[in-house]
Structure 1
Amino acid sequence: MAHYKTTNSKREQFQRYLENSGVLDTLTKMLVALYEEPEKPTSHHLGVATQENPEIELLCLELAEMKEKYEGTVEENKKLKAKLAQYEPPQEEKHAE
């Protein structure tokens, strides 16, 4: 039984600390403010993007197109560098004298 009283005592001390420091009041005010918000989230997954949003779908398509365009540009750059290397003489390192 002594262990139960010790645990209960610590719990009461912590609860008094939370009350005295204003944590409980702040949490209560915050939860009330969230509850009174006029616009409630449509999903229980707050902040999770769903594929149902048409704007997200458009952005995903645009991202895929840009990645494809980027890959094409990288390939073209490699080919042009190889072509340029054929016409340029090998560059010798210049030593500072």
Structure 2
Amino acid sequence: MAHYKATDSKCQQFRRYLEKSGVLDTLTKVLVALYEEPEKPNNALDFLKHHLGTATPENPEIELLRLELAEMKEKYEAIVEENKKLKTKLAQYEPSQEEKRAE
């Protein structure tokens, strides 16, 4: 009987931990969203994974990294475009293959 009470106490502690950390609220919200879906998805587990991923609050550091990535992509595209222009310009001043052979 003592083993049962120890296990019950651990379960209660774990439940309080889940409540304090917001896990139970988040799971409840996602399950309610699944319940309220007019057309149930074929794969309920994928639905849960997708909605749990969006239910977590955004880390400000992640948002900063996303902005930095977008900025770097823009810079990259600009550099690629500049490189193309410079190659075209350079090709105008380099002797053609035929001229090189004649020399």
Class of the TM-score when normalised by the shorter of the 2 chains: 0.3 to 0.5
Give TM-score, length-normalised by structure 1.
0.45
Q: Which structure has more RCO (C-alpha within 8 Å, separation ≥ 6)?
A: 2
Give TM-score, length-normalised by structure 2.
0.43
Bigger Rg over Cα = 1
* Structure with greater proportional helix content: 2
